[in-house]
Every structure is written in C-alpha cells, then in structure tokens.
Amino acid sequence: MFELIPTLILLVVIGLGAGTLGSMLGVGGGIIMVPALTFLGISPSQTASTSLIAVTSTSMSSTVEYSRQKRIDYRLGILMAASAVPGAVVGALLSANITLEQFRLYFGLLLILVGIYILYKNSILRERREGLRALNAYRLLGITSASFVAGVISSLFGVGGGTIFVPLMLLVLGMGMHRAAATSQLTLVIASAAGVATHIVLGHPDYYYAIVLSAGAFAGAQVGARLSKTAKDALLQRALGGVLIAVGGKMIFDWLSSR
C-alpha cells in the first residue's frame, strides 16, 4: 500500500480528472476512478461503493451548474431515475457476490464498449440527427427498461449510468448532446444516491478513499460543466476512448493471466 500522503495526492488527482471528464461528456467519473481503485487491490464491493460515492458528488456538483445554465430536462431526468433507482439497489446487492477476477473481466468489457461509443459518438449523432422525438409508448418502454439496466450497472461497477443514459437520450429521443449530458447528471444524482444508500447499509464503502475522491471529483465537475459550454471535444473524445479501450484490455489480460 502506498504511503498516506502520496495516496492522498493520487486520489485527489484521479477525482479531479474523473470529475472534469465525466461532467463534460456526461458519462460519470467512475469510468476513470474504478480502474484506479481496482489496481490498488480493493475488493469489488468496496471499489463500486467507494467510486459511487464520488460519482454522486460529481453528479450533484454538475447538476447545480447545469441547473444554473437551464440545460436540464427535469421531467425526463426524473422519469429515468424512477426506473434506475430499483436497478441501483439490485446492483449494490449483486456487487457482494462477484470476485475480483470476475469484476476485472466484466468491467474491462464495459470499458471497451464505452470507449468504442465515445470514439464513434459523433458519427452516430450525424447519422441520427433527426430532431427531438415524442415520448410515445414504445420509446417510454425502451427508456424505462434501459434506465433499470443503467441503475444495475451503476451500483454493480460504481460508474454511474451515464454511459447508458446519454446514448439513450441521443438515439431514442433525438435530444442534443448539450441537454442530454446535463439531464443525465440529474438522473445520476438520484440513481447513484440510492445505490450509495444500499451499499452503506451493506457496509461496503471505504470512507477515507470516498471522501478524498469526492473532494477532487466535486471540484472537477464544476470545471467540466463550465468547459462543456465552449469545448470542442473531438480530440478529447478520441484520447479518452483510446485510453478506456487500453485500460479495458489490460483488465481483461489480468483476468486471463489469473486463470
């Protein structure tokens, strides 16, 4: 285990970077925090719960700033959260029954999928840019079902559900990225808070790591929300997508090596 001060600095930096990128892209900073915690050798349930506390901090910070910018669709955000909350409870319960090796495999696969999505997000949007679509019965079923799955993933891996919420709003409802990323943060606050509460009842979090990560993530989320107004993120998306795919590959390689 690292010495106290270097670990403190490392966690603050990780939280700051995760909060900034997560807020800008609407995907949640857990995508960055979870691999770091995993490589520190923390158990899956501790990793998921500790990261999720910081994700909640990031989302809360982002939501405050996005609310000031009047970018949030509150009706849609709360609708998705209503389906995501039961999923978040289920995910927290499942996290106690997964081994570190399984966690690395599943999370590695998730990272690769998210990395591919981020790399090709702009191409997808160009092809599907048809304008905002009405929320009919079929789209409502799709939104609520996918939100439940996002809630499970959120608490099981500690990443937040933004990796599902944002594409859902973009592709199913035709919402623009500007509002989708902001609305995703509101949904994440509600869903991740439910997941955190369940993890706390189960005694999973490492509160020292959680507090330090949350402090960095909260500050980073404010920076990311402001930068997102003017940022041209094509280069950022390519870099982040590539890093996520590489880290996901490393986690899968570690799983293969342990067999």
Query: Does residue 83 contact residue 216 with C-beta atoms inside 8 Å?
Result: no
Higher confidence at residue 44 or residue 1?
44
pLDDT tens per residue, range 94-131: 988 888 888 888 888 988 987 887 777 666 555 455 55
Query: What pLDDT does residue 1 have?
Result: 47
Query: What pLDDT does residue 27 have?
Result: 62
Query: What pLDDT does residue 130 have?
Result: 53
pLDDT tens per residue, range 82-92: 999 999 999 99
Range of the domain at 186: 4-257
The residue written with tokens 């029954």 in the block is 97
Report field, pTM of the whole predicted structure over 0.85: no
Q: How many domains does the chain contain in total?
A: 1
What's the CA gap between 244 and 118, in Å, rounded? 9
Query: Does residue 80 contact residue 143 with C-beta atoms inside 8 Å?
Result: yes
Percent of the chain with pLDDT over 70: 86
Mean pLDDT of all residues belonging to the chain: 81
Provide mean pLDDT across the span 203-215. Answer: 87
* Residue 236 pLDDT level (bands cut at 50, 70, 90): low
Query: Does residue 218 contact residue 58 with C-beta atoms inside 8 Å?
Result: yes
Query: What pLDDT does residue 234 have?
Result: 67
Q: Examine the pLDDT at 188 and tell me if it is beyond 60.
A: yes
Q: Examine the pLDDT at 232 and tell me if it is beyond 70.
A: no
